[in-house]
Amino acid sequence: MDKAEELTLSYLLFFGIIGMLILAGAIVLFVVVYQRRLLNQQLQISQMKMTYQQKTLELNIEAQEKERKRIANDLHDSIGSILSATRLYINQIETTKKEEQTHYIKGKSIKLLDSAITNIQSITRDLLPPSLDRFGLELAVTDLCKTVRDLNVLEIAFTSNLNQRIEDKQELLLYRIIQELINNTLKHAEASKILIQFIYQNNKLKLVYSDDGKGFQPIMEQYGEDRIIKEGLGLQSIRTRVDLLNAEVKYATTIPSGKGMQVWIELEIS
């Protein structure tokens, strides 16, 4: 081999080594960039989870305070005022000497006390419906639908093939979810009909809720490279309870046609 061939071979080896080094460097750079991007995605996911957990905690605290405020207002406005009026009537008995007036005051006091008892029962029913504790979810939802029907603002129907009791926790959470869905429909949907269904099959219970209102337009928020649905307090409250049920929830809305919305919640029944 002459010097020219040796020189050519040396050049080939040199540039080959340089090429391999460049390729190796590119691979290392790619791995580093990929790992950094993967780490950023993991951090974003972690941040999203922390944000969600924080929102959930804030929602729970806000819901508790809202419920306490509502109960306090109910007790003050209804029970407190009724009992104060009853006390005034009873005090008048000591000053009146007419039997007819005494009889009138006694009658008014009894009516006020009956009203106080009715209000206490109503507040208690809102906190924990007696029918839910005694007879189960189906009857409690039936009673809830009757209460809504008595408002004469829309039609509401309920069908079920459950025909059995489930865990107390599951019954209460599902009942609260249905309450929230109905409240959302009454407040925002401008609907004329609500349909609630329990479909039980293969140890799974599916709650299907639908109305014929104006639906809702999901609001999207940007988290890094991902976009997720921003949920209002009502939807967050529902999702919090769904998470406690270890269940799945799906929404469908017919915006802009205005034919309503549907909610599906499915969970395992032990």
Residue 205, Cβ neighbours under 10 Å: how many? Answer: 23
Indicate the pLDDT class of residue 192, thresholds 50, 70 and 90: very high
pLDDT in tens, 170-185: 998 999 999 989 988 9
Q: Say if residue 267 is exposed, middle or buried (CB neighbours under 10 Å; 0-12, 13-18, 19+).
A: buried
Q: In terms of pLDDT, which residue wins out, 2 or 205? A: 205
Q: Give how far the C-alpha of residue 8 lies from the chain's centroid of Cα atoms, to the nearest Å.
A: 75
DSSP state of 250: E
Say whether pTM exceeds 0.75. Answer: no
Domains of the chain by residue range: 1-127, 130-268
User: Mean per-residue pLDDT for 11-32?
Assistant: 75
pLDDT-derived band at 217 (thresholds 50, 70, 90) equals: low
Which helix (H) or strand (E) is 265 found in, with range?
A: strand 261-268
What are residue 249's phi and psi, to 5 degrees? -130, 140
Q: What is the pLDDT of residues 22-51, one digit of tens each?
A: 777 778 777 777 777 777 777 777 777 777
Asked if the model's pLDDT at residue 104 lies above 70, the reply is yes
Q: What are phi and psi of 126, to 5 degrees?
A: -70, -40
Most confident of 69-83, 145-159, 252-266: 145-159
Output 206 or 59, whichever has higher pLDDT: 206
User: Which CATH superfamily groups domain 130-268?
Assistant: Histidine kinase-like ATPase, C-terminal domain (3.30.565.10)
**Predicted pLDDT at 155:** 94
216 against 257, higher pLDDT: 216
223 — pLDDT class (breaks 50, 70, 90) = very low
206, pLDDT greater than 90: yes
Residues 6+ apart with CB under 8 A from 38: none
